[in-house]
Structure 1
Amino acid sequence: MGLNKVYLNALEIWSDEVANQNASGFLSKMWVGKGVTTQEINELAKLTLRNVIWCKLSYKNDFFVHFGYDYYMYIGANKDCPNARKKVEDSGLFVENFNSPYLN
């Protein structure tokens, strides 16, 4: 979609693992509403999938990333992205058409 930044829409830090993951400094620079870069998105995803934090990311009503239980990622866009879908499938991950339970 050509996005170079998305926004942090929700952030919950609910794990004692923050210190163990050396994430205190990084997380002190995160807040709801902050525009996050690709590098920061990678770190947020890693921390979320390790159950250190929980967050939601989006860009207006055009794109979102939500994290669920059992390592689910809900990624949505307001337009079809067949090239992105193919890359994900080619990487060995599964793509399903599904509404995110975290949209609201």
Structure 2
Amino acid sequence: MFSWRITKYNPENRDEGGSYLDDKEWTCFSEVGTKVSEEEYLRTETDYINAITSFMEEMGLNKVYLNDLEIWSDEVVSQNSASFLQKMWTGKVVTLQEIRELAKLTLRNVIWCKLSYKKEFFVHFGYDYYMYIGAMKDCPSARKKIQATGLYVENVNSPY
């Protein structure tokens, strides 16, 4: 299986151990208004979500399974997501629209989830705006499309 780390972090700003060195970089939704503008945050969030759908498109997938789901935050109410989350459970088949909402809520630290389709495709989310995607094929078109947005696609195995 191919595996990539998708981030907004330039790999040139990492040390030999892989640690990111730019401490001015924003890492989460709670920094909107302090370290990042709402406009930049929403653009970046959209790029991450579109990265998932780009890989799915190249893989020929229009659904995945919700493998893990944890609700981490009281932000469910402020994000108006309580009724949506009541319809989610581990093992559920989720559509593209549901994937977009799950990814948004995960990137905003409201929930944490893992998505996959059999042993052919996965999406894992890490801390500090890290996302990992794996696929049974290389997906060069998706990688190129994602890199064109300014995100970085690195060959890295998911730690999850």
Same fold (TM over 0.5): yes
The TM-score by the shorter chain falls in which range?
Answer: over 0.9
TM-score by length of 2: 0.63
Aligned to 1:20: 78
**Unaligned runs of at least 5 residues, structure 1:** none
User: Is 1:96 matched with 2:135?
Assistant: no
By relative contact order (CA 8 Å, sep 6+), the higher-ranking structure is 2
Report the CA distance between 1:80 and its aligned residue: 0.7
Tell me the number of residue pairs that the alignment of Structure 1 and Structure 2 aligns.
102
Task: Name the amino acid aligned to 1:98.
Answer: V
TM-score by length of 1: 0.97
**Unaligned runs of at least 5 residues, structure 2:** 1-58
Give 4+ residue runs of structure 1 displaced > 4 Å after superposition: none
Q: How far apart in 1 are the matches of 2:93 and 2:150?
A: 30
Report the CA distance between 1:78 and its aligned residue: 1.2
- Structure whose alpha-carbon radius of gyration is higher: 2
More helix by share: 2
Aligned identity (percent) is: 79
**Aligned-CA RMSD value:** 0.5
Q: How far apart in 2 are the matches of 1:78 and 1:2?
A: 12
Q: How far apart in 1 are the matches of 2:133 and 2:149?
A: 16
